[in-house]
Each structure stands twice: as structure tokens, then as C-alpha cells.
């Protein structure tokens, strides 16, 4: 770099530093400013020789992270200093955590140490479990040190996602998948909704770029119309709000690209068919005492002008979400006969919605009960520290519970408890206490005896009946949906299975001895394969409970003898040796010979995954399984994000190179309004189109509506897309989707 370039860069660094001090959400004292200045100087020194992939000086990254922490999340001077220092110990041998503690105090050092530990997690090489899921669990354990560790890590991830353009595509996809899998759910739980939304949109940008750009361009095209609609809606209620002397603002908030894509996929509709692509937000000024009264008064004004949908009222003011979120949400029939979501919030509620944890503590009252976030952290520790918990299961259940809607139910004494929507009586039992859950024998809801699988609704009063003789069984997993309950039940079942397995192993040893077979590693592997099991524990357990009996073991012994005789005869007949690989090799590529893998575009053996059933033309990737070779998945497969995040080292690039000579099975789901001759029209369209061969067709009709499934044999993805478009044009058909 020339002297002039260095001067320009230094000026840019100085501007970024000054801007950091100006945009802080909290008021910075002189001591705060001194602390931040000192942290900035150490960060400058620690990163002086570093540059990012883009070529810019590394110091711009900690400055950007500190700005997100200060402006968007709203943390204090201590957190801003820690954000500036978050990579110093990891990247500079000149600084240790002890050095940081000497200069900045215990709190900053604890946060920096936690962030350094998280960064080092990705370098661990434990191939027996999902790396990312296990790392995620370890990362959450740092919540014990200081919750700000996780918050700054989320800010760090956000800035990395914002500046990924200069990375390799495979690295972009890996980081984006991990973000969708781990960091977006965490941001959601801490109440950082704006950051969660940006992380999801950026995640989509790099995992499904075509989908992202398509929706983005359509949002831009419809912005003018959206702004006009918001103006029209606002003008109707402004007079009434002004008459009541409210101090307020009305804003239109477009739904995120990620949430629109999710609606399109879940509902099987196009962009134009997603009716609630934006929400209208009314933010009013109020003191704490009048907040609730004003919210319902504004609700009354809105519903005086627009007809509400009674089943879409969400009162999170009387019962805030466990994240601390408060608001009234109503859906009303707006101008032009369109449903519109209206969110009513005070300025305080709006700050909590946007800043999450930081704003919640700004407004926290001295007489409040234990904070929801603290309660959540305390509950989390129990699950995190359980060595029996499978890391991937933990993450999946954690995410499931984070994104689910809440219900509010009462204990027999009248205490209010929040649970995810879909929670059962058994989930409630485990939410009271693990021992209560383990000893549950029944439940009463609103005074009536109900099954343990009974799904609770808001307002239920639940009384759990216990017994010392009761214990979990495998059916209980079907009766529960919360992470806490499922984790405890699985742990109890594993212990039970281990005990029975130990007994079964000794029984098996005795029975095999009678058949003149020694129980060793080789015979155990043979038995596991013969009975199509996954592990030796499965084998011992089944022997222990008697589902593998004497006659089945005799069949195994006989098959073993027959296999050996056949092998010897064949070897004698051919006068040649046959390798183990030749004997075991499956013909997995008979129908699929047009895929190539990796940079060298090699043709390898593979299987098509059943979860998404890709066909030529679909964007795909290969996943190297432990025991089933390469499985091919679609890029937008429901399991793709989880696989790419957890097992990046097993992902292989794959692409179709020639599908013209091969035919593939595809499934189509179709629904709409029934009428005479409809099935005939559908079959005519299929039979007259591009050599599509229809294998099976099934239809059901109920009260004038029909639904059906069609199995087709096609040559590639383009043909199926064209066929779907033609089917959509048939009179009466509402939806056509590929399963």
C-alpha cells in the first residue's frame, strides 16, 4: 500500500470509531468512553498486521461488531469494549485473557474469554458426533459466564454474514447453513427479532440464491403499490387517533424474504398468492400505567373502521411471550378486501421488540419477578449438562421450542405457566419438575380425567396425578413435544435399554454356545446385519426382551452355514478368488447414471434420498453417510440446512450432466373444486405432454372439493415444471405441487 492509501484507510478507521461513540443506544459516561478508547487501541495493536479476505484492514470487523452491539442491540460500554476485543486473544499471541483482565477488569475478561472459547470450538475434531451441534451445546454453556458472550457472538456472526461476498461459494453455503441452523434461532430466543430476520434473509441469500433474488426483485417491484396501500389504510384511522389525542406513528413493515419463501413453500402458493406480505405497525407514546389501556383503545379505533378476524387476535400485553415481547396483534379486512396484520405497541414495547435483552433491562421494574431470560438460562443448564443428551437431538428440539407459538395454562393453585403450542398434559408434568414427570400416571384438565397425550390449550387448569410405581415407556415420546420432556424420557429409556441389553448379552452368549458359535466382534456384526439392526445394543436389547428367540437364532446359524457352502462351491467352480467388495456391492446406479461429483466430476456410486427424491435438473449435493454410501439430496431438501451445518466435511458437490436417456419417478399432489369430467381433463393433459408416462393416479372427492396424487415417469425437471403449469390452467384446479 502507498502512503496515500494508508492515510485514507486510517481516516476511515477514525470515522468508524467516532461513529461508534455517536450511535450508542445507552448514554455513555466519560468512564465508558475511556474504556472504549482503551479497547480500541488494544484492538488496533492486536490486529495491526491482519487483513480480511476482502483486503480491508481487520480492525473494521471488531468496529462493525461493536457498532451492532451499541446501536442495534443496545448494550452498555462494557459490552462495546468486549466487542472491540472479541478476537484479540485468539488472533494475537501478545495478549492473553489475564492481560485483558489487568487492563479492563474481570467482566470484560470473562466475556472475551467466553468468545475466545467459542471461536476455538470449530477447531475441535470429534468425528463421532455432529461437530456443529456439539459446539452449539458448548457455546450455550458459556451463558453461565455471561449472557453477553452469546449476544456479541450473534453480532459477530451478523457482520460476517453481511461481508461474505469475497468467500468461496462452498464456504458461503457452509456458514449460511450454520447461521440458519444455530444463530437465527438464538437471536429469536434472546428477542433480537430484527437481527434474527436479517440473519435468515442472508442465510437464504447464500443457500438458495435464485429463490432469494427472485423474491427480492418482486418485493422491489411491488414496493410502490405497498406504500400506497399503507397510506390509504393510515388515512382512514388517523382522524380518529388524532381526535383521541394520541402521540403515535404508523409504519409499514414488509415481511422478510425468508418468511415469504417459507409461506410459499408451506402453503404451496406463488409470491402473488401470499396475501400478508407486510404488516402495519402503530407505535404510541405512553407512561407505564396507561400502556395497556391505550393499546386496547387503539384496537377499538382500528376495529371501528376495519372488520377484525376474531381468530387472529394475539394479546401479548396481558401475557407477554417468554422472550419478553409485548404487543397486540390483530388481523383486519383492509381496503380492497385484503387481510392486513396490525401490530399495536407502545414505544417501550417497540424498543423491547427491536433491542430484546438490553431494552428489557432498561425498563425492568425493581419489583418484577425473576426475568424470563434468566429463567430460560437456568432451565437450559439442566439439559445442556446432561451427558446422555444427543447433541443433534438437543439442537433440533431447542429450535422446535424456540419457534413454536405459546399457550398459557394454570397449575391447581392458579400459577400461570407458558408452554409451546401443541404441548400435552405430559409436557406440563415435566415442566413442573422432572420427578413429577417421571412418576406421572394420569392428568386432570379442568377437573376431568384426560389421557397423557391430551393437547392443552390456553386457559386450561392442569392437575398431574403421580404414582411411585409409574415409569416412562417408549409411547411417552409420542405424547410429548417439548425438549425438556423428550430429553428426560429418552434418558430414562436409554438407561432401561442398557440394563436389559447387559442381561440380553449374557443370554445371547449362552444360546450361541449351544449352536457352537462364539460371541465375538465378528459374530456380533453378522447378527446385527442378519437382523437388520443398527447397533450391538439393539441386538442385545431384543434378545433381552425376547423378540429375538431361539428359532430366529437357529435360522441365523443355518444361513451362516449355507452362505459358507455357497461361497466355497462358487470359488471351486470359477477357480478364482472373489473379493468381499464384489460380494457386498449393491447395484445402486442402475437407473441413475448421469450425476457427477466433486471438482473432478467423477462418476461414483450413490443412492437417491427418499426425503426429497431429486430428479435430473434439480440442484443437488451428495452426502457421505456412515453406512449407506453417498446419498443425493436436493439443495432445498428439508434436511439440507441441518446436514450442511452439522456435517460440512461430508458434503460433496454434485451436478447432473446428461439426463436425456434416463427416466425418473416424480409425484404430484393436486387439489381444487370437483366437477364432471375433471379426471378426464387431467389425464388428457398428461398423456398429450412430452412423453410423460403416468404410473398411478388416485383421487378423493368430499363436499365438492377434490384432492389427488399422480405418480409419473419423466425425463427431467423441465418437463415436470411445464406439466405443472399446464395442469394449473385446468378449470377448477387450485393447487398443483411436486411432492
**Residues tagged active-site:** 90-91
C-alpha of 672 from chain center: 32
Query: With contact defined as beta carbons under 8 Å apart, do 595 and 632 qualify?
Result: yes
Degrees, nearest 5: CA angle 360-362-367: 80
Tell me whether residue 189 is exposed, middle or buried, using C-beta atoms within 10 angstroms of its C-beta: 0 to 12, 13 to 18, 19 or more.
buried
List Cβ neighbours of 195 (8 Å cut-off, separation of 6 or more): 68, 72, 73, 154, 155, 158, 187
Query: With contact defined as beta carbons under 8 Å apart, do 441 and 391 qualify?
Result: no
Query: With contact defined as beta carbons under 8 Å apart, do 331 and 308 qualify?
Result: yes
Query: With contact defined as beta carbons under 8 Å apart, do 696 and 710 qualify?
Result: yes
The runs of H, that is alpha helices, within 407-482 are 425-432, 434-438
C-alpha of 402 from chain center: 9
**732 backbone φψ class: left, alpha, beta (φ>0; ψ -120 to 50):** left
Element spanning 134, H or E = helix 131-141
Q: Cβ atoms within 10 A of the Cβ of 658, count?
A: 11
Query: With contact defined as beta carbons under 8 Å apart, do 329 and 281 qualify?
Result: no
Nearest to 47 by CA among 86, 2, 75, 79: 86
The DSSP output letter for 391 is: H
Taking the C-alpha atoms of residue 25 and residue 74, their distance in angstroms, rounded to an integer, is 5
Q: Which residues pair with 419 in a beta bridge?
A: 407
Q: Which string of DSSP letters, residue by residue, matches 325-345?
A: ---EEEEEE-GGG-EEEEEEE
Taking the C-alpha atoms of residue 136 and residue 181, their distance in angstroms, rounded to an integer, is 10
DSSP SS3 for 417:
strand
Amino acid at each position: 500500500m502507498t502512503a496515500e492509501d494508508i492515510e485514507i484507510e486510517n481516516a476511515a478507521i477514525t470515522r468508524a470509531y467516532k461513529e461508534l461513540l455517536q450511535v450508542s443506544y445507552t448514554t455513555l459516561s466519560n468512564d465508558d468512553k475511556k474504556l472504549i478508547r482503551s479497547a480500541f487501541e488494544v484492538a488496533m495493536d492486536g490486529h495491526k498486521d491482519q487483513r480480511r479476505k476482502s483486503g480491508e484492514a481487520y480492525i473494521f470487523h471488531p468496529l462493525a461488531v461493536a457498532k451492532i452491539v451499541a446501536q442495534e442491540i443496545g448494550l452498555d460500554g462494557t459490552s462495546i469494549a468486549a466487542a472491540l476485543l472479541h478476537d484479540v486473544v485468539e488472533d494475537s499471541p501478545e495478549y492473553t485473557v489475564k492481560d485483558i483482565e489487568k487492563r479492563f477488569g474481570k467482566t470484560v475478561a470473562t466475556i472475551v474469554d467466553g468468545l475466545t472459547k467459542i471461536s476455538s470450538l470449530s477447531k475441535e475434531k470429534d468425528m463421532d458426533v455432529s461437530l456443529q451441534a456439539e459446539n452449539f451445546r458448548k457455546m450455550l454453556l458459556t451463558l453461565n459466564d455471561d449472557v453477553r458472550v452469546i449476544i456479541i457472538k450473534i453480532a459477530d456472526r451478523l457482520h460476517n454474514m453481511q461481508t461474505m461476498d469475497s468467500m468461496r461459494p462452498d464456504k458461503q453455503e457452509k456458514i449460511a447453513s450454520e447461521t440458519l441452523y444455530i444463530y437465527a434461532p438464538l437471536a429469536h430466543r434472546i428477542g433480537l427479532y430484527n437481527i434474527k430476520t436479517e440473519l435468515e434473509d442472508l442465510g437464504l441469500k447464500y443457500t438458495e440464491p435464485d429463490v432469494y433474488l427472485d423474491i427480492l426483485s418482486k418485493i422491489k417491484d411491488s414496493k410502490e403499490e405497498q406504500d400506497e396501500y399503507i397510506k390509504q389504510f393510515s388515512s382512514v384511522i388517523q382522524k380518529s387517533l388524532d381526535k383521541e389525542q394520541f402521540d403515535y406513528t404508523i409504519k409499514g413493515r414488509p415481511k422478510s424474504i425468508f418468511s415469504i419463501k417459507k409461506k410459499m413453500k408451506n402453503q404451496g402458493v406463488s409470491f402473488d398468492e401470499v396475501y400478508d406480505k407486510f404488516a402495519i405497525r402503530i407505535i404510541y407514546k405512553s407512561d407505564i400505567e396507561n400502556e395497556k389501556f391505550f393499546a386496547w383503545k387503539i384496537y377499538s379505533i382500528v376495529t371501528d373502521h376495519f372488520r377484525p378476524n376474531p381468530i387472529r387476535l394475539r394479546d401479548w400485553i396481558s401475557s407477554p411471550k417468554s422472550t419478553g415481547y409485548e404487543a397486540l396483534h390483530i388481523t383486519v379486512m383492509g381496503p380492497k378486501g385484503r387481510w392486513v396484520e396490525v401490530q399495536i405497541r407502545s414505544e417501550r414495547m417497540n424498543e423491547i421488540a427491536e433491542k430484546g435483552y438490553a431494552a428489557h433491562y432498561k425498563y425492568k421494574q425493581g419489583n418484577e419477578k425473576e426475568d424470563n431470560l434468566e429463567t430460560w438460562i437456568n432451565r437450559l443448564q439442566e439439559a445442556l449438562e446432561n451427558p446422555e443428551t444427543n447433541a443433534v437431538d438437543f439442537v433440533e428440539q431447542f429450535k422446535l421450542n424456540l419457534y413454536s407459538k405459546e399457550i398459557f395454562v394454570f397449575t391447581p393453585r392458579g400459577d400461570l405457566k407458558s408452554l409451546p403450542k401443541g404441548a400435552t398434559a405430559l409436557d406440563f408434568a415435566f415442566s413442573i419438575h422432572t420427578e413429577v414427570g417421571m412418576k406421572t400416571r394420569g392428568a386432570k384438565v379442568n377437573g376431568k380425567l384426560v389421557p397423557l397425550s391430551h393437547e392443552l390449550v390456553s386457559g386450561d387448569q392442569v392437575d398431574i396425578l403421580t404414582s411411585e410405581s409409574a415409569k416412562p415407556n417408549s409411547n411417552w415420546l409420542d405424547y410429548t413435544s417439548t425438549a425438556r420432556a423428550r430429553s428426560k424420557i429418552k434418558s430414562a429409556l436409554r438407561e432401561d435399554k442398557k440394563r436389559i441389553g447387559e442381561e440380553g448379552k449374557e443370554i445371547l452368549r449362552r444360546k450361541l454356545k449351544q449352536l457352537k458359535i462364539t460371541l465375538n466382534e465378528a459374530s456380533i456384526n453378522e447378527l446385527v446385519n442378519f437382523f437388520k439392526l443398527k447397533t450391538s445394543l439393539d441386538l442385545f436389547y431384543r434378545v433381552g426382551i425376547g423378540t429375538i428367540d431361539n428359532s430366529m437364532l437357529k435360522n441365523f446359524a443355518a444361513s451362516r452355514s449355507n452362505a459358507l457352502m455357497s461361497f466355497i462351491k462358487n470359488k471351486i467352480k470359477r477357480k478364482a478368488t472373489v473379493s468381499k467388495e464384489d460380494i457386498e456391492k449393491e447395484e445402486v446406479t442402475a437407473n441413475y447414471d448421469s450425476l457427477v461429483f466433486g471438482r473432478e466430476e467423477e462418476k461414483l456410486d450413490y443412492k437417491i434420498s427418499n426425503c426429497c427424491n431429486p430428479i435430473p435438473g434439480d440442484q443437488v449435493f451428495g452426502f457421505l453417510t456412515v453406512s449407506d454410501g453417498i446419498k443425493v439430496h436436493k439443495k432445498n431438501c428439508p434436511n439440507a440446512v441441518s446436514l450442511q451445518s452439522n456435517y460440512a466435511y461430508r458434503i460433496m458437490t454434485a451436478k447432473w450432466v446428461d439426463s436425456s436417456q434416463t427416466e425418473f419417478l416424480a409425484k404430484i399432489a393436486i387439489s381444487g373444486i370437483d366437477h364432471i369430467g375433471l379426471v378426464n381433463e387431467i389425464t388428457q393433459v398428461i398423456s398429450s405432454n412430452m412423453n410423460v408416462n403416468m404410473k398411478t393416479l388416485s383421487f378423493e372427492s368430499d363436499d365438492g372439493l377434490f384432492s389427488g396424487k399422480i405418480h409419473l415417469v419423466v425425463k427431467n425437471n423441465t418437463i415436470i415444471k411445464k406439466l405443472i403449469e399446464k395442469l394449473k390452467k385446468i378449470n377448477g384446479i387450485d393447487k398443483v405441487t411436486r411432492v
